[in-house]
Amino acid sequence: QVQLDESGGGLVQAGGSLRLSCAASGRTFSNYNMGWYRRAPGKEREFVARINWSGDRTYYADSVKGRFTISSDNAKNMVYLQMNSLKPADTAIYFCNVAVSLSDFYTDGEPLIGFWGQGTQVTVPS
């Protein structure tokens, strides 16, 4: 059974930084894309960032480009999201995702088949 455990969320002032971590376990994740999504209060879940398993290809939502960086450590089955210059609009629950089947690497949509973590709350007060 696949398990994704996010950590690193919290409350941070605008302009601050946080680093989210996602620990994946339960199967071999080679050749899968991994990513982060978020759901803000009253909104649908949206794409944030994605990385391929080899770590040499990334894709970001326009809203976080230049501020967030996704990375991975294959040996540890870990994915990270470094978030800098945080804004109140970044307040959301952040979900780690393993994409088993994706329509396109450069899609903002959700995977056709994937696994999800329980999420970690990030709050940036206005």
List pLDDT tens digits, range 87-103.
999 999 999 999 988 88
Q: Is the pLDDT of residue 31 over 90?
A: no
Rounded Cα–Cα distance for residues 103 and 71 (Å): 21
Rounded Cα–Cα distance for residues 40 and 111 (Å): 19
Rounded Cα–Cα distance for residues 124 and 87 (Å): 6
Rounded-to-10 torsion of CA 9, 71, 76, 109:
80
| Mean of pLDDT over the chain | 94
Residue type, 92: A
Q: Is the pLDDT of residue 30 over 90?
A: no
Rounded Cα–Cα distance for residues 18 and 38 (Å): 14
